[in-house]
Structure 1
């Protein structure tokens, strides 16, 4: 529910709460006022007739249009000095069934005689007043509701136009374009403050993004240059006459250079992922990329004598950048090969809902979800730099793909779900072919059935 509707509903609710109270107060005042006016009128009539009696005149049967009753007072005791006021609600029949009767009895002494002067009148009954007020209340509420919703939408086009424009611009704001935010001018102080804050925030974000991007690019270039020099020097040194101990030292240096190069490239990739530099609006045939990745790693699989079982559906399309799809599959498959045991197994399943890769291996010495963090490594391989699964996790987050890592019964299982609403259930793979059969299918013919 948008803000305008919430404000309208709150306003209508306040009206509905206040109106019954105000109606009761108005009803009480109106009823009391009507009674008092009629009582004062009857009193004046009785006083007029009493004055006639005292002057010895013969009063009429009616006065001011009201019937008058004059009778000798037959009561005993003290004569009342104040008029008697009698309210009588009539039965619900006859011509005056919707009225109430008010009678005033006044006692006066004239010519040594005491008289009882009575006059009465009819006023509208309480039920009629209440019905009229309820009808007016209903019409009032309906009118207020209609006017509030109609005028609120008319006013929102003008008053809230800068706000909606700012929301739309923020929604389409792309930090990679490095274009300042364009907002409508407004005379509303609150919207002026909002626009000023949004401009400062987006300008700061663009400035920080530019600085981080330039730093990462410069750092990558500056690091790669000395690494390339060291690499060339090591190669030149390896071509000279060296003994076995020196050769071992050069091998360690070469391995460290390769590892540092991989770390540098991985960190740059993570930075690009954080900066949303791999946006895409088209779907990719993921099953084809998956098949090409397995072909590329077929020699590694055969070298380690690993059994690979592949069960994939046809025409699996997902929304992901082609470069990210290749990196995702390369990291997952290389991870399954590197951390596998000799003569081990790999299970790959691809459907329209998820991609799952499982491999045999040693139990991890830390919780599996911890391995998605940067530079977190288990005890399975010393060759890992600890960034492969972190890159996998970042790619999945960029594309809103839930990813889960489970270990059960000697199997490491990583599942990437293409639908964030899918029910993520635990999967335990089972091998269905022998190593020799699977390797023959992978290495010589590279022929996979989908």
Structure 2
């Protein structure tokens, strides 16, 4: 994508080129015309001299001025200012070149007698000379003007667009939860002033809406925890009383749904926090150690489903990520790999300096794998899953600029995270 300054320079250069091209054709025709007019002017002056010679009554028949002149007396009246110009292209053996024979006939009244004076001369057809000369002038002028256009366009447009570039940089640095006010560079350009005023209003409104939404999410999450805890406590008391089998099944189902509701509430709160998480630089973690600890934590669950684990983990792989979020990321990945695995299934874990890959057996996905990163999108609705785990995983990766992909190969599900390297930016 081209910069705005470059577009200005390109546009000015094209305008200059076509303007010079039109000017080239105008100048070329003007030079040819001026050459022809100059020749006619010389002949007209010569005819006037001949007329004065006739009027003087002296004999100029042997004079050099009569070489290419013919004089004829007329018996009819002709307007004194009347003149006839004729052009004829001929080959001049003396000059060994193609020339134009320019002939001018004028009429003069001298002592009540009308004379027709015709003079002619040869004009060399110098199209190539004109063309080459004008082309060189055009070429040097074009080079000079284009150089000036490029330099002046970069300087002038850079100066004019300075407030716009400053506004653009401010927008790029803007975060919804920043505490400082959104400031713009002062400008006298009306359009930039209107743009800055609009952005000022929009950012203030966005920050206000964000604060309201954040408070609502926090309050809603806090307020939901209390009734959930109360209902769970009462269900536990009921389950300790004398109940028949059907009643116990219903209470157990209610308890499971409450657990799911509690997890949804916690996950949504975490996602809201992640949406506004500030990525602090220089927060390296040893992802290899965190993965090893996570494997130990989930070993009992893997044993219950008789899942075999193969790992190829390079030690001391350091990446940029908050440690708490790194642990949440690994917990979600391993939980997902176990929950969606098969009895007697497999899990493969590979970590290198560039990427991490978790591969597990499972049934083929029923929906496109890219959709599973969306909230509440589940591959199997019957599984005890709330459908937010992969959304959290993706959001954590985005915060720290790691890329994640999910593919299904044969009977394996493959989640791959490519670690962000500072040199990539």
Q: Could you say what the CA RMSD is over the residues aligned between the two structures, in angstroms?
A: 3.8
Distance 1:318 1:93, change over 3 A: farther
8 Å contact from structure 2 (residues 8, 153) kept in 1:
no
8 Å contact from structure 1 (residues 71, 115) kept in 2:
no
SS of equivalent to 1:180: coil
CA shift for structure 1 position 83: 5.3
Distance 1:338 1:157 in 2: 57
* Superposed counterparts of 1:28-107, under 5 Å: 28-53=29-54, 55-59=56-60, 67-69=65-67, 85=86, 102=102, 104=104
The answer for the alignment partner of 1:134 in structure 2 is: 135
Distance 1:54 1:16 in 2: 56
The answer for the alignment partner of 1:376 in structure 2 is: 377
* Superposed counterparts of 1:114-193, under 5 Å: 118=119, 120=121, 125-193=126-194
Distance 1:370 1:19, change over 3 A: closer
The answer for the alignment partner of 1:3 in structure 2 is: 4
Residue deviations 1:80-139, cap 9 Å, x none? 996564566888998x99997755467999999999764547689444433332232223
Residue deviations 1:65-90, cap 9 Å, x none? x843277789xxx9x99656456688
CA shift for structure 1 position 266: 0.9
Residue deviations 1:308-346, cap 9 Å, x none? 111122332333332332122111111222232333221
Distance 1:350 1:109, change over 3 A: same
Distance 1:410 1:4, change over 3 A: closer
Distance 1:15 1:48, change over 3 A: same
The answer for the alignment partner of 1:410 in structure 2 is: 411
SS of equivalent to 2:405: strand
For structure 2, the 5+ residue unaligned runs are: none
SS of equivalent to 2:392: helix
Distance 2:241 2:109 in 1: 151
Distance 1:328 1:284, change over 3 A: same
Distance 2:270 2:93 in 1: 90
For structure 1, the 5+ residue unaligned runs are: 421-450
Distance 1:178 1:103, change over 3 A: same
SS of equivalent to 1:318: strand
SS of equivalent to 1:293: helix
Residue deviations 1:148-180, cap 9 Å, x none? 223223324532221111111112112221433
The answer for the alignment partner of 1:242 in structure 2 is: 242
Distance 1:214 1:290 in 2: 34
Distance 2:256 2:165 in 1: 57
8 Å contact from structure 1 (residues 162, 191) kept in 2:
yes
Distance 2:232 2:185 in 1: 56
* Superposed counterparts of 1:360-439, under 5 Å: 360-379=361-380, 382-418=383-419
Deviates most, 103-112 or 118-127 = 103-112
TM-score by length of 2: 0.82
8 Å contact from structure 2 (residues 88, 100) kept in 1:
yes
SS of equivalent to 1:415: strand
Residue deviations 1:350-392, cap 9 Å, x none? 2233322222334444444443332233448532222222322
8 Å contact from structure 2 (residues 101, 120) kept in 1:
no
TM-score by length of 1: 0.78
8 Å contact from structure 1 (residues 336, 359) kept in 2:
yes
